[in-house]
Structure 1
Amino acid sequence: MLIDNHGRPINYLRLAVTDRCNLRCFYCMPEDGLNWLSRKELMSYEEMLRACTLLVSMGIQKIRITGGEPFVRKDIMSLLTSISELNGLDELSLTTNGVLTAPHVAQLKNIGVKSVNLSLDTLDAGRFFAITRRDEFAAVMTTLDELLKHDIEVKINAVVMDGKNTQDIIPLVELTKELPVSVRFIEEMPFNGDGHIYTGLNWDYIRILDAIKDHFPEIKKMEDPAYSTAYNYHIPGHMGSVGIIAAYSRTFCGTCNRIRITPQGTLKNCLYDNGVLNVKDLIREGKSDEDIKESLLNAFNNRVKDGWEAESLVSTGIHESMATIGG
């Protein structure tokens, strides 16, 4: 088992396979997109598979594929299939916006993907267009239907944005009445990619919960799984559940078990750090497996205490887009 310098297990890798996305959500990137990475700057599938193989051999048990949007990268299913076959990996999951995902759901089921996080900030087609700047609401709902049809666990991730979609909190909660889904509300974070200054959080996890309690006073706290980033709740009579992720408040840092690798191969011990090691560079320099493992262990033994410490070490107030960080 991997243990960091604060005594926390590390068993969960979030691997971003691309920085590109087919939506333009305003809280993630500018309307005209980003300066996309060139193919040479991206990790190849072979490099990603080698990194995953090494990390699983060291104690990583769960891998989540993120982006950008994973399905905009060509032949992504070949990588997912290879990762799913790694000896020692207990769980492979992914996060997607659902636009291109529906045709692949049956194959995801076949390779053993049991859980998918679906990004969906509203159930209103007009607000979906306003938030994402793309008319793809129907495609996302088709993906939701396909995932449920194939008995894949679905977590719906909704970023709560003041003046944009707070009216969607209750309709999204109501989805859990008839559907076996977990709807998770996420505090907005300052990773917008356009350099504007983040002025603070109007809807923190406490306010989100209060809004839900006003409509569902019978809501009950559930026991949170180990290393959970969400506070989890259940409404009596509902099939699904509700979660609230304090992504900006960062109340869960004390039990953080995750690391990230960005599309360009940067290892991030924390969402809020600037990266601590480039795995792609080590591979391209011809380093041996043992040398790479040693570099990884050194990075894990120098993790910051929490997201606030990580942010304090960042020299600029301009945050990258979530698409380049890896969700």
Structure 2
Amino acid sequence: MLFDNHNRPITYLRLAVTDRCNLRCFYCMPEEGIRYLPKKQLLTFEEMERLVGILAGLGVNKVRITGGEPFVRNGLMAFMRALSAIDGLTELAMTTNGVLTAPHVSELVGLGLKSVNLSIDTLDRQRFHQITRRDELPAVLRTLDELLAHNIEVKINAVVMEGQNIEDIPLLAELTRDQPVAVRFIEEMPFNGEGTHYPVLNWTHRRILTELKSFYPDLHKLTDGPFSTSNDYQIPGYQGTVGIIAAFSRTFCGSCNRIRMTAQGVLKTCLYDSGVLNVRDLMRSGATDADLVEAFKQAFASRPANGFEAEQNRAPVSESMATIGG
């Protein structure tokens, strides 16, 4: 097993298969979108398979496929089949916006997909259109129904945005009444492709919790997992759970076991760094597997202690979450 310089194990890879997306969520990218990379600058599926195999040999046992939106890249399901056969991987997961996902759920179950993070910021069709700039809520809800029908673990990710979806906090929490879903409310982050678009983050994890308790005063705190990014709770009598992710406040860095690989093959050992290793260029210059192992070990040996340290060591944030990897 790999450990970083702060004695945190590295066991979880978030792998972006594309920087493209079929939504235009305002907190992720500008309305006109971002300048997408030419395909030749992206990792091929064969290169991704090689990387995952190497990292699995070093102790990474969980891979989450992200984007952009994974299903906008042709050939995704064939790649998922290849990943499912890699020795050492015990958990295959995915983050998706759900627009194109429903038809593939049955096959994903057959490949052993364990869980899906589904982005739903509102249950109101008009607000959904306003936030995402696309009228796709019915398709997303069909995906939710399919996932639940196939007993896939579902975590609903909702970014909490002042003036946009505050009224959806109790509506989304109510999804946990009769369904075994985890609804996680996420602090908004500055990765929208044009830099920070709010002077101060008013809806912090503390305020989100206060809002939830105003509707559910007997909200019960659960024991969080060893590498959990969320503080989890349950409403008494409800099947599912609610959670709060302090993504901007960065309260969970001390137990972080995650690394990210962008679609262009740049390793990020922290969400807030600017990339620490261009793995694509190493592979295309003829690096052996042993060379890549050594490069990974060196990168993990100088990992920032937390997101604040990582952010201090880079230029101001200006990229889109679509280019980072979900």
Matches within 5 A, 1:162-181: 162-181=162-181
Q: Secondary structure at the match of 1:178?
A: coil
Q: Residue 47 of structure 1: CA displacement?
A: 0.4
Partner of 2:319: 320
Structural mapping, 1:136-215, within 5 Å: 136-196=136-196, 198-215=198-215
Determine the structure 1 residue equivalent to 2:278.
278
Show the 5 A alignment for 1:191-270: 191-196=191-196, 198-270=198-270
* Structure-2 separation of matches of 1:318 and 1:295: 25
The alpha-carbon deviation at position 303 of structure 1 amounts to 0.2
CA apart distance, 1:194: 1.8
Distance (Å, rounded) in 2 between the aligned partners of 1:63 and 1:319: 26
Q: Deviations over 1:255-290 (max 9, x none)?
A: 110000000000000000000001111110111100
* 1:159-210 Cα distance to aligned partner (Å, 9 max, x none): 0000100110000001100111000000000000023554221100010011
SS at match of 1:275: coil
The one-letter code matched in structure 2 to 1:273 is: D
- 2:289 corresponds in structure 1 to 289
- Secondary structure of 2:281's counterpart equals helix
**Secondary structure in 1 aligned to 2:267?**
strand
- Paired amino acid for 1:223: T
Distance 1:53 1:319 in 2: 32
| DSSP-derived class of the 1:34 partner | coil
Residue 250 of structure 1 and its aligned partner are, at CA, apart by 0.2
List, as ranges, runs of 4+ consecutive aligned residues in structure 1 with deviation greater than 6 Å. Answer: none
The DSSP-based 3-state class of the residue aligned with 2:15 is strand
SS in 1 for 2:40: coil
Q: Is the 8 A contact 1:196 1:318 kept in 2?
A: yes
Native 8 Å contact 1:197 1:318 kept in 2: no
Counterpart-to-counterpart distance in 2, 1:82 and 1:268: 24
Q: How does 1:47-126 map to 2 (within 5 A)?
A: 47-126=47-126
What is the rounded CA distance, in whole Å, between the counterparts of 1:114 and 1:200 in structure 2? 37
**3-state secondary structure, aligned to 1:175:** helix
The whole-number CA distance in structure 2 between the counterparts of 1:307 and 1:160 is 20
Question: 3-state DSSP class of the match of 1:114?
Answer: strand
Partner of 1:26: 26
Deviations 1:110-160 (A, max 9, x none): 000010000000000000000000010100000000000000010000000
What letter corresponds to residue 115 of structure 1 in structure 2?
A: S
One-letter identity of the residue aligned with 1:301: A
1:40 deviation in Å? 0.6
| Distance change >3 Å, CA 130–CA 197, structure 1 → 2 | closer
Which stretch shifts more, 195-204 or 281-290?
Answer: 195-204
Q: Output the amino acid matched with 1:285.
A: S
- Contact residue 176 and residue 242 of structure 1 kept, 8 A: yes
Aligned partners of 1:217 and 1:90: how far apart in 2? 38
* Unaligned stretches of 5+ residues in structure 1: none
Give TM-score scaled by structure 2 length: 0.99
| Partners of 1:188 and 1:201 within 8 A in 2 | yes
Instruction: Provide the secondary structure at the position in 1 that maps to 2:190.
Output: coil
Distance 1:238 1:268 in 2: 37
Alignment gaps of 5+ in structure 2: none
Indicate the percent of aligned positions where both proteins have the same amino acid.
Answer: 61
Task: String of CA shifts for 1:34-92, please: whole Å, max 9, x gaps.
Answer: 10010111000000000000000011010000000000000101111111111111100
CA distance in 2, matches of 1:93, 1:263: 17
Secondary structure of the equivalent of 1:142?
Answer: helix
- Give 1:318 shift: 3.6
Give the partner amino acid of 2:201.
L
Q: What letter corresponds to residue 230 of structure 1 in structure 2?
A: S
Instruction: Give the distance between the partners of 1:124 and 1:148, measured in 2 at CA.
Output: 20
* Structure 2: distance between partners of 1:45 and 1:295: 21
Aligned residues: 326
Secondary structure of residue in 1 paired with 2:243: strand
Give the alignment's Cα RMSD to 1 decimal: 0.8
